[in-house]
Chain A
Amino acid sequence: MEKWVCEICGYVYDPAEGDPDNGVSSGTKFEDLPDDWVCPVCGADKDNFAKEA
């Protein structure tokens, strides 16, 4: 599964980890994150993420 990088703060969303602090369980693909999910570090929305090169 692909990792996605926040272009604002550099946080990497790793589907293997998910975002458990915000109710996203491990194994959740970036595409399956809810539309209102935001970067847990800086608060940027999903539009600010790019696939990790």
Chain B
Amino acid sequence: MTPQSLDTTSAPGQSRSGAGALMQLASRWRVPLTILALCALPWLLPSKALAVNVLIYGTFAVGYNLLFGYTGLLSFGHAAFFGSGAYLTGMSIVHFGANWLLALTTGITGALLLALVMGTLSIRTRGIYFSMVTLALAQLVYYTALQASSWTGGENGLRGFTVSRIDVFGLQIDFLNPLHKYYVVLIFTALALWLVSRALNSSFGAVIEAIRENEVRARACGYNVERTKLISFVLSGAICGLAGGLSALHLAIVPLDTLHYQTSGLVVMMTLLGGMGSFFGPFIGALAFLVMEDLFSLWTAHWQLFVGAIFILFVLFLPKGIWGTILGAGER
């Protein structure tokens, strides 16, 4: 995987054209620009509920990409973080009557701790073994949630925590109103994007990319490879936990499927579709995937045929994804 110089943290190359300079400027203001664009999203998509899903899965994919695209670790177990974030958020409200913000914080913290455990166990392995270990551990989380049905609702899913009104600094917000809900979720998405962007622009960002490009050399340069990988894993897990918690608040249920390995597969697909070498790519991928699924499934019951075929075509011909390809074209 070659990094997209314009959009990643690596030093931008000499821009030879006006378009390049423009994109370089855009790259510096990437987070504010994204948020500005996202403010308009509810009016551009078929429905508000879909727009909230885009924010949630966009955050999920950006968090995932920190590990996959930037650190070079292909995890097949990120459903565990998304799911534990969702379950803990819901369970805090159902079982302890927690306030929504406290619940969400619990969800993020839980996902972070789970990532710490799973990361510690898995980063010792390399390549395909890493993918397998993450998959196996995530399956254990899935079956644990299925068995612990008095806590999680088991196969029926977790229910009974609809948040209809939230209090933000004394301001009462009707959370059942789809637009209000969208902008509340957007605040958290913006925070997550800002955090990831900051991390990537820091020296930490440079180190994880160095590890991705050549682990041996990074180690020789004196970097603590294991610790850096673990930090990346935990940060990624926490962001995915946030996405899961937001999903719980959005849908007011946590389906068991949230923890299924297909959820892990889904985030891989979204990331790849958008472009894993770039900061925005995964978000664009989530957007494209969800809109595609929404439109195709209204039109045919066989939408998976088209989604699968498009995915194959991307792997074969556009491995840089939608956003990566656009950036590549802009560079030329």
The answer to whether A and B come from one shared complex is no
What residues of chain A have their CB less than 8 Å away from a CB belonging to chain B?
Answer: none
